[in-house]
Each structure stands twice: as C-alpha cells, then as structure tokens.
Amino acid sequence: MTARRVALVAAVVLGIALAVVIAVRTPWVPLPEPAGGHTAVDPTAGLSADRVARAEAFAAALRPASLVSLLLGLAVSALLGLTRAGARIVRAAAAPLGGGWVWQVLLGVVALAVLGRLVTLPLSAYGEVVRHRYGLSTRSWGLWLRDVWVSVAIDAALTALSLLVLVWLARRAPRTWWAWAGAGAAALVVAGSFLWPVLVEPAFNRFEPLAAGQLRADLLQLAEENGTPVQDVLVSDASRRTTALNAYVSGFGSTRRVVLYDTVLDRLPDDQIESIVAHELGHVATDDVLTGTLMGALGAGAGVAALGWLLSSPRLLRRAGADSAGDPRVIPLLLFLMTVGTLVSTPVQNAVSRHVEARADVHALDLTRDPDAFAAMQQDLAGSNLSDPDPPAAWQWFFGSHPTAAQRLAMAADWARLDRP
C-alpha cells in the first residue's frame, strides 16, 4: 500500500471514530416528550414586539456583512493557496532574513495572516459600527483595534509554530510526516483545553474575585451540590467591550472557576445568575469539555491525515507552486485546506453543540428547580444580547451553536410539565 493510500485510510478510520464518538456522546434527546406532546414554540420567545423588531433589525444589519466576510476570506485564501501568488508572498516575507525555510514558514504565516485580516477588516469595522449603533458594544476604537491585532498575533503565532513543526516533520520524514503531525495536533487540542483559561483569557479581560456575600456563597454551594466544586468565582470586566450578558465555567481541577460578566451582576437578579451558572455547571457535570476535547483531537488527527493524502498530489502541489509538503511554499495551500475543513465541519459542530447546550439547560432546571427564573433569564439574555428569537432555519442550521431563545423557553415549559426527580 502506498504512503498516500495509508494516509487516506487513516483519515477515514479516524473520521469513523469521530462519528462514533459524536453518535454516542451527543444527547440527541435531552428531555423526554411530556404527555400531550411538546410545548409549541413561540417565535417571539415572549418578548415585546419592540424588542423582537430591534433584535431582527440588528440581525438584518449584521448577517450580510458576516456572510460576505466569510466568503471574502475564503476567496482570498483560495487565491493564495491555489495559485503561485501565496508562494511568492512566503518567499518575499523571508527574503530580508536570508530566505531560509524556517523564516519562510514563520514570516510567511504572519504575512498571510495579516493580509487576510486586512482584507476583511472593513467588514469587521462595519460590524463594530452596527454593535455601537445598537448599544451592544462599549469598546473605544482604540480598544477594538487592540483586540483585533492581539487576536491576529495569537492566532498567527500559534499557527506559525504549528506549521513550522509540520514542515520540519515533512522534511525529515517525507512518507510518514502526517502521522507524527496528526498525533501532535491531537496533543495540542488537549493541551489547549487546559491552557486556554490560564494563558489566553487574561489577554483580553481582567478578572477579580467576586466579593464575599450571599451570591458568592450560593454559587459555591451550587457547585458543591452539582458535585463539581470550583476554586473561585471571578468577575470579568466585560463591560469595557460590551453590554452583553454571559457567564461560564472554565478550567479543570485546580484551575476550575466560575466567571461572571460584570454586566450580569449589574443587571440580573441573583436567582437568574444562579440559573446561568447552573447551566454552565451542567457542562462540567457531563464532561462536555472533555468530550469536546476528544472530538477535537480525533478531528485534528483525521484532518492532518487528510492533508497527508491531499499533499501527496503532484498536481495540487504544482498549482500552489510547491514541490512537496516539506517545501515552505506549501503554507498558503495548507492554510486554504484548513479553512475549507473548518468551514465544512462548522454545521456538524454546531448541531452537536445545540444538543449539548439543551442538555445543560435541562441540568440547570434539575439543579435549581426554578423554571420561572430560567425563563426570565433566557428572555433577559435574548433582549440584552439582541439575539433573534427565531432566526432563519438555514442560518440557525449552519451558524447556531445554541438553541434559539424560543426553543429554550418551550423546553423549559416541557420540563415543568414533567415529573422530574
């Protein structure tokens, strides 16, 4: 069997393993159907006509720009990856430092990342204008630019280092590089899950412990009752950037903590905050992060094996102006293939995510036994975050990572009709 065929077989086997994990670990039916059938979904989610109209107007102003940005980024990536233009940029970026292959990879990735971001920057700026217009963003333009370039810097640095290792492996082991790189990619996914809250989150927000008081005591007690004690309850200075409401649980073991946006503390009563935190604790109780990490690791391994198969095609390499997977001029093609893979996997990831989020909603209701607070919280989140309570089906299928507000309220009504233990 040729090395190229081995890579294809490995990609298929890992893809099948990923499909099995998705099938087994996804909560396809997070809540049984109550007697008499499911509660009808109210497309307004109980929001006033003015709030619904405002959310729909916000979405109508933002969706076209988001879609154009996605397609423009894909088109630029294709232009650079499927022609020799990208290879020329890679070589030119490294020329001032002698043009060695290491500099071609590192500086080529940075140059391509900055170019890609510059192309879509006007659309991002338009999106920020819309968020300012509707009162969702509180960032100054200086802070917005800082956030954009910090994000680009982090992404470019991680991508450059990862691809440097990949190209080095391809140069050292031309037939089996994809196997070693796939194992490394899977390991990076696992490491990233543990290190993200410690290394990346502080680059964008400051965190302070929630002041001692009844709410802090109640949230720590809620985590204990959930069987997932946390080390701390922190408050993020999210209001520097947004008026949106959110909370989450991040970290593992000794780094696990509840994080509340300061906007949540300012605008929601304690029972609704407890409902949000109970939802996030549901993800911990059902090991959703660990399952997601396993899925990500399998997906990364399958993706790199697929790259091993694709980059064994002389025709594809010639189109990109590269000689082999160990040629640094292959970087634009690699980035394009990674972009396509991410785009193709997005609806699958979001389908799984919607079911996982629905199970966390059920967990929150089971833990707090307060469907009224849950419903009020969902309505306040939808109103404050300008979430369309009933988005177009195609948009929700592709981009929706959570059930809609209308669906979540109907599920809460179903929960109240069931005799849950």
| Centroid of chain to Cα 63 | 18
Confirm whether residue 283 is marked as ligand binding: yes
Verify whether residue 380 is a known catalytic residue.
no
Verify whether residue 419 is a known catalytic residue.
no
Confirm whether residue 402 is marked as ligand binding: no
Burial 292-322 (b: 16+ CB within 10 A, else e): bbbbbbbbbbbbbbbbbbbbbeeebbeebbb
Confirm whether residue 225 is marked as ligand binding: no
Question: Which candidate in 280, 380, 388, 390 is catalytic?
Answer: 280
Can you read off the two tokens belonging to residue 46? 């109980």
Q: In this structure, are residues 338 and 319 in contact, taking their beta carbons and an 8 Å threshold? A: no
Residue at token pair 């997977």: 325
Q: What residues form the annotated binding site?
A: 279, 283, 357
Q: What residues form the annotated binding site for Zn(2+)?
A: 279, 283, 357
Just list the catalytic residues.
Answer: 280, 361
